[in-house]
Amino acid sequence: MEFEAVFIPVLYTVAVVVGFLGNGLVLAVLWQKRRTWSVTDTFILHLAVSDVLLLLTLPFWAVQAAKSWTFGTGLCKMAGSIFQINFYCGIFLLACISVDRYMSIIHAVQMYSRKKPWVVQASCLAVWFVCLLLSIPDWLYLTADNDYRRGKTECVHKYPEPRQAWRLGFRLLYHVLGFLIPAAIMVFCYTCILLRLCRGSRNMQKQRAMRVILALVVAFFVSWTPYNITLIADTVYTKNETNSSSCDTFTALDISLAVTSSLGYLHCCVNPLLYAFVGVKFRRHLVEMLKALHCPLKTKMVSVSRKSSVWSETDTTNTSAF
């Protein structure tokens, strides 16, 4: 497919460059302010690491789209599993951030004590462990196999018999855990937050917080809803190996999956923009860091205002770097 062979490598190259730059800046600022980390900063740290690891797998998929999978079954299992781990991890961490914000703003409850920073780290490690468990099917069933329809070798799942039942089961697992549950959590939490902010004072800071929250939800759904809808359609059309649908239908599904999955993968490039670049404190910390790099003799940094950022709208104990 000429479209996929050109579109995917170009898009993934842009994603890798932008993603590494954005997440690299996030990690640099977090490292600079590591002594004053908040709960949100810890989640963002793990989210940035997740995005970076996911970005590391994109060159492999770009080569597969342009030519074929030339790296063997071993690297196929490794790249596919790492990709899946960090895909789940990124979405689960977004859900964790929404729950933390919900508890802080709606119930004025701090889920994680600043006196026990290890608790939030343990929560993040638990997320990574769950994601590792969810990647077991990829370690077991991913293989470099020849696709007779495409005429090239690809890294694909090769399930045992009955193959369609296994395929349907794992796709349902993906839809439920990788999209529906995180989406439901985010919608519930951010809807409650928006309603609370709307009933409160309408100052500029709260207006800015509502815009950021809306951007978070919209970005999540814009990135992943098209892919999930296309994947459902693909599952329906291919659930029977004797499906009589035309070759044009399968070609259209292949193109749709390529486009919509790429849109989803771009979410790891959007995260730094939504979770960091819109934050007043982050921009100030970034400017300070760049000034320090160019002017090493200036050791005294400009003090950062303790005014809450868009991440700490009603969380008076939060000193997030964002």
Q: CA 82, 85, 91 angle in degrees (round to 5)?
A: 135
pLDDT at 147 (0 to 100): 79
Does 238 fall in a domain? yes
Residue 314: per-residue pLDDT: 41
Q: What is the mean pLDDT of each run of 10 residues along the chain (322 residues)?
A: 80 92 87 75 87 91 90 92 88 88 80 69 92 92 85 88 86 88 91 82 58 75 88 78 62 84 85 67 70 55 41 46 61
* Cβ proximity of 45 and 23 under 8 Å: no
- Whether the CB-CB separation of 313 and 106 falls below 8 Å is answered with no
Reference 261, options 170, 169, 179; nearest CA is 179
> Does a structural domain hold residue 311?
no
Residue 104 covered by a domain = yes
**Does residue 141 fall inside a structural domain?**
yes
Residues of the domain holding 30: 2-294
Rounded to whole angstroms, the Cα distance separating 25 from 68 reads: 33
Structure tokens at 11: 């898009």
- Cross-strand partners of 153: 146
pLDDT at 301: 41
Helix residue spans in 67-153 (DSSP H) = 72-106, 118-134, 136-141
Residue 313 lies in a domain: no
Tokens of 309: 């950022």
Count of domains forming the chain: 1
Residue 145's nearest CA partner among 153, 134, 133 is 153
At 127 the pLDDT is 94
Q: Which of 167, 93, 177, 165 is nearest to 134 (CA)?
A: 177
Count H helices, E strands: the chain?
A: 11, 2
Write out the two tokens for 151.
Answer: 């005429």
Q: Give pLDDT, residue 302.
A: 42
For residue 235, being part of any structural domain is answered with yes
* CA triple 246-250-252, angle to 5 deg: 110
Position 68 in a domain:
yes
Contact between 267 and 225 under an 8 Å Cβ cutoff? The reply is no
The DSSP 8-state label assigned to residue 279 in this structure reads -
**Residue 309 CB: number of other CB atoms within 10 A?**
27
Q: How far is residue 116's CA from residue 28's CA, in Å, rounded to a whole number?
A: 24
Instruction: Give the 3-state DSSP-derived string for 176-203, with helices as H, strands as E and coil as C.
Output: HHHHHHHHHHHHHHHHHHHHHHHHCCCC
Residue 244 lies in a domain: yes
Q: Which amino acid is at 198?
A: C
CATH number at residue 239: 1.20.1070.10
293 Cβ neighbours under 8 A, 6+ residues apart? none
